[in-house]
Amino acid sequence: MRLGTMGGRFSPARAALLVRNRALEDGPGLGIGLGIVLGVNVLSLVVSHRAFLNSAGGQGWSTAIVLAGLILSAYAFKGMHDGKAGADWILLPATPLEKYLAALLSYLVLYPLLAAAAATGASALLRLAESLAGGPGGRIWTPFQAGILEDYADYAVAALVFIAGSASFRKRAPLKTIGAVTAYGLALASLFLGGLALLHAGRGDLDFRYMNGIFSAEGGIDSDRIERIGKFLFEGNRLVLAPLFALLYGYFRVFEKEARDEVQ
């Protein structure tokens, strides 16, 4: 593919080239990862006549896809921060928007689709091998199962946050992103609980409970209402505020980046 024209602020052709380049860069690493997964499963077939990733409803496949996707997202802008490669990355003739969008398309759309297709194929292959090895046969994992959209939404939000972290942090981006998200969560929880305690001041003891993912408050308080508010705040944060912030913040970090990292 070659660009005939460079006109316009945003060029889909340039963005497509950037997505292609990312796929070519990530492909070998993912291929090795898939090879290792298959190798370990073949080993488990030899030892126990079972491909362990196909057991337990094939949840292992979903976990592996999500983990690999988050690792890729967490290093999406590593090259931009590199002392030597950074200037080349910044000066590659494409706009910051195209570069950022290419990362989003790669890890939020292209990667999940290709990884799911590869995992389905590998799962089918392992099931066949398991049957031939005299095992129970297991189940072929496919992405078409209950709750897949919710799982994808969770993955997409996490990937967005890690992409923003990668655009922001020069070194140890994944760890720093996890640290920032934890600190944000703790600050939010403190605010919520602090607000609750403030509203309840002088009305006796408050008893907070958190069990099986459900938060409740007892002690002369409308527990259902508080739970609804808590859920609204949590879901609003998880599905709207956090992804929106990550999306915009990541873009501005890419746009603002300068080649100041190398020795001047």
Partner 1 sequence: MIEFRSMTFGYGKRPLFEGLDLTLEPGTVYGLLGLNGAGKTSLLKLAAGALRPTGGSISSFGREPGRREAELLADTCFVPEDPWLPPLKPAAWLSRYAVFRPAFDRERFAALVKELALDEDKLLTKYSYGQRKKFALAAAVASGAKVLLLDEPTNGLDIPSKAQFRRILAQAAEPGRVVVVSTHQVRDLESLIDPIVVVHGGRVLFSLDATACAERLSAARLPSLEGRPVVYAERDAVGWAALLGLPAGEAEGQAPDLELVFDAAIAAPERLAAALKGEALGAYVPEEHLIDKEAGK
In the complex, the smallest distance separating the C-beta of residue 113 from partner 1, rounded to whole angstroms, is 22
Calculate the CA 256 to chain-centre distance: 23
Cβ within 8 Å of residue 130, ≥6 positions away: 45, 49, 50, 51, 54, 136, 137, 138
Using CB under 8 A, pick the residue from 84, 172, 209, 231 that binds partner 1.
84
Cβ within 8 Å of residue 96, ≥6 positions away: 251, 254, 255, 257
88 binds partner 1 (CB under 8 A): yes
Q: Which stretch binds partner 1 (CB under 8 A): 16-24, 59-67, 120-128, 216-224?
A: 16-24
Give me 197's structure tokens. 């305690």
Q: In a 3-state reduction of DSSP, which class is residue 207? A: strand
Interaction pattern, residues 212-241, with partner 1; x per rule: CB under 8 A:
------------------------------
Using CB under 8 A, pick the residue from 24, 146, 198, 201 that binds partner 1.
24
- The closest of 182, 186, 177, 188 to 232, measured between CA atoms, is 188
14 binds partner 1 (CB under 8 A): yes
In the complex, the smallest distance separating the C-beta of residue 254 from partner 1, rounded to whole angstroms, is 10
In the complex, the smallest distance separating the C-beta of residue 250 from partner 1, rounded to whole angstroms, is 16
Helix count (H) and strand count (E) of the chain? 10, 2
Say how far apart CA 261 and CA 170 lie, in whole Å: 9
Using CB under 8 A, pick the residue from 23, 30, 38, 85 that binds partner 1.
85
Residue type, 165: G
Say how far apart CA 36 and CA 31 lie, in whole Å: 9
Query: Look-up: residue for tokens 């999406």?
Result: 76
Residue type, 171: K
Q: In a 3-state reduction of DSSP, which class is residue 169? A: coil
CB of 11 or CB of 177, closer to partner 1: 11
Number of residues engaging partner 1 in binding (CB under 8 A) = 31
9 binds partner 1 (CB under 8 A): yes
Give the other-Cβ count within 10 Å of 153's Cβ.
13
In the complex, the smallest distance separating the C-beta of residue 94 from partner 1, rounded to whole angstroms, is 5
Interaction pattern, residues 92-131, with partner 1; x per rule: CB under 8 A:
xxxxx-x---------------------------------
147 binds partner 1 (CB under 8 A): no
198 binds partner 1 (CB under 8 A): no
The footprint of partner 1 (CB under 8 A) covers 1-7, 9, 11, 14, 17, 21, 24, 82, 84-85, 87-88, 90-96, 98, 255, 258-260, 264
